[in-house]
Amino acid sequence: MTRKELINQIFTKKTFLCVGLDTDIKKIPAHLLGEEDPIFAFNKAIIDATAPYCVAYKPNLAFYESMGVKGWISFEKTIQYLNENYPQHFIIADAKRGDIGNTSAMYARTFFEEMNIDALTVAPYMGEDSVTPFLQYDGKWVILLALTSNKGSHDFQLTTDAEGERLFEKVLRKSQEWGDKDNMMYVVGATQGKMFEDIRKVAPDHFLLVPGIGAQGGSLEEVCKYGMTKDCGLIVNSSRAIIYADKTEKFAEVAGEEAKKVAEQMAKLLS
Amino acid sequence: MTRKELINQIFTKKTFLCVGLDTDIKKIPAHLLGEEDPIFAFNKAIIDATAPYCVAYKPNLAFYESMGVKGWISFEKTIQYLNENYPQHFIIADAKRGDIGNTSAMYARTFFEEMNIDALTVAPYMGEDSVTPFLQYDGKWVILLALTSNKGSHDFQLTTDAEGERLFEKVLRKSQEWGDKDNMMYVVGATQGKMFEDIRKVAPDHFLLVPGIGAQGGSLEEVCKYGMTKDCGLIVNSSRAIIYADKTEKFAEVAGEEAKKVAEQMAKLLS
């Protein structure tokens, strides 16, 4: 999906919500456990119920990989279901990969060519040649970790170098030598509040993928106040607060209602 | 495997070689392609031929994941084969993971509990809570990326902060607040040469996992000159130079011979 198409989706649907498919077998409704593939059954129902209120889906690979081969099958089925039924939705594989060049190239081939995923989260620690293999595909995106939502983000990301630049700022600046606003986004946690102002100084036009509202405590208003651009420039993710809002047979319906509430808030913030 | 057991293996077998199972369907001998699971068939033959000459195996997850469900099955079979037939060998999953706490905890459970892998490579960018979930298992290890072997390692890892400390040094120092030499190692590329002296100033006793000899151009002698400790302190990985040394039906035999050559060099360097 191109940047223009993404922006068009956001303003047409009046939402910039991404639903995080962090699907955990221990947290899904008990009545699904009798299904042949409970994880996929859960995802399918959640997707059908929330699709009108979001522009993106983000399965976190860790949740699938933690179940080995079975989990990988559920992941592939979920991606296939999205591709076939919701081609207008932006698909993000939250993989946080990053390896030496030839290895990153293999990941890029798998996720972009074979699975037709739109974007992949990538860790910046290994530098340029771990990132650029992902930038060789038209309409595909790297979403580079910049300033994450967790407590440990302070350990290294905020380190100030001899020139007064913090590590996350160096990641933002340096990576713009490799890609641009048409193929690169950044992960910035919603818990970072006013830091969005600093982010926008270095990356004024890039889209930001923002996890951390809901269960992790970030505020949507604050994120928009400091991070929104004229093109919106934000994809805000919510996982647990939507997908686990209810654990009865009505789980999907309730997830849809929760997504709708967030989308209504977003519509106001967009106008 | 405990540190004591690892050191014992190294001095008994007189080798600190790790064979990297970076198995690529496009590079394995053609006659294996008719096998039901060519990747596993290749790994099994390579393992049987090289086991006397190495103390560790390191499958790189990217190579398996790039084949989707099939690749994941080959990976699990390889781990199971190692556990059943070579319990004295140290198994490293080269996964370069690193996510927020609850997600890292899921990875830890999968790799350490379910698959009985000894060690996992982890990316440090997200800080403490992305690393500590991996440190809760007796006899299991985190191998944290410190100074990698690729060109892009210069982009961020060498950034000097306001106190004169480089990022890789901060990673080495800070992470010693979370784990110790009994459950933590570091990745340091063989291509970094004299930098091993600087590494040893901050982490004098920790084991280092050293990729980059052979195909990537690092020198074993130089690594040992600057990085070896009285307990050896090194696990040196070779992948392509061993596993793809020959592409005929004799591939495993030749891989064994190559591993033996490296091991003989290591025996001299150990004494």
pLDDT higher than threshold 80 for residue A215: no
- Which pLDDT tens digit goes with each residue over B222-260? 999 999 999 999 999 999 999 999 999 999 999 999 999
Q: Using DSSP, state whether B31 is helix, strand or coil.
A: helix
Supply the pLDDT for residue B214. Answer: 75
Average pLDDT over residues B186-208: 94
Q: Residue A24: its chain B contacts at CB < 8 A?
A: 106
Cα–Cα–Cα angle for B127, B1, B17, rounded to 5 degrees: 90
DSSP-assigned letter for residue B100: -
Give how far B41 is from chain A: nearest CA, Å.
18
Exposed e or buried b per residue across B96-114, where buried means at least 16 C-beta atoms within 10 angstroms of its C-beta: bbbbbbbbbbbbbebbbee
Report ipTM for this prediction: 0.94
Q: Which of A77, A96, A174, A261 is catalytic?
A: A96
B250: CB partners within 8 A, 6+ apart? none
Verdict on whether the full-model pTM lies above 0.80: yes
Lowest mean pLDDT among B49-58, B192-201, B202-211, B232-241: B192-201
In chain B, whose CA is at the least distance from the CA of A99? B96
Q: What is the mean pLDDT of chain B?
A: 95
Whether residues B155 and A72 touch (CB distance < 8 A) is answered with no
Give the gyration radius of chain A's Cα atoms: 18
CATH class of B3-270: alpha beta
Q: Residue A127: its chain B contacts at CB < 8 A?
A: 150-157
Q: Which of B76, B125, B129 sits opposite A157 (nearest CB)?
A: B125
Whether residues B127 and A97 touch (CB distance < 8 A) is answered with no
Q: At what angle do helices A38-50 and A68-85 cross, to 10 degrees?
A: 30
In chain A, whose CA is at the least distance from the CA of B25? A106
pLDDT higher than threshold 80 for residue A56: yes
- Cβ atoms B190, B213 nearer than 8 A: yes
For testing contact with chain A, the best of B131, B150, B157, B186 (most A CBs within 10 A): B150
Give how far A5 is from chain B: nearest CA, Å.
28
| pLDDT tier, B221 (very low <50, low <70, confident <90, very high otherwise) | very high
- Which pLDDT tens digit goes with each residue over B92-135? 999 999 888 888 888 898 899 999 999 999 999 999 999 999 99
The alpha carbon of A194 is separated from its chain's Cα centroid by a whole number of angstroms, namely 20
In chain A, whose CA is at the least distance from the CA of B124? A125
pLDDT higher than threshold 90 for residue B201: yes
Average pLDDT over residues A158-174: 96
Distance CA A248, CA A245 (A): 10
Distance CA A267, CA A16 (A): 9
The alpha carbon of A44 is separated from its chain's Cα centroid by a whole number of angstroms, namely 18
To the query of whether residue B96 is one of the catalytic residues in this protein, the response is yes
Supply the pLDDT for residue B180. Answer: 98
pLDDT higher than threshold 90 for residue A98: no
pLDDT higher than threshold 80 for residue B170: yes
Whether residues A97 and B152 touch (CB distance < 8 A) is answered with no
Exposed e or buried b per residue across A35-48, where buried means at least 16 C-beta atoms within 10 angstroms of its C-beta: eeebbbbbbbbbbe
Which tokens hold the place of B176? 């010693």
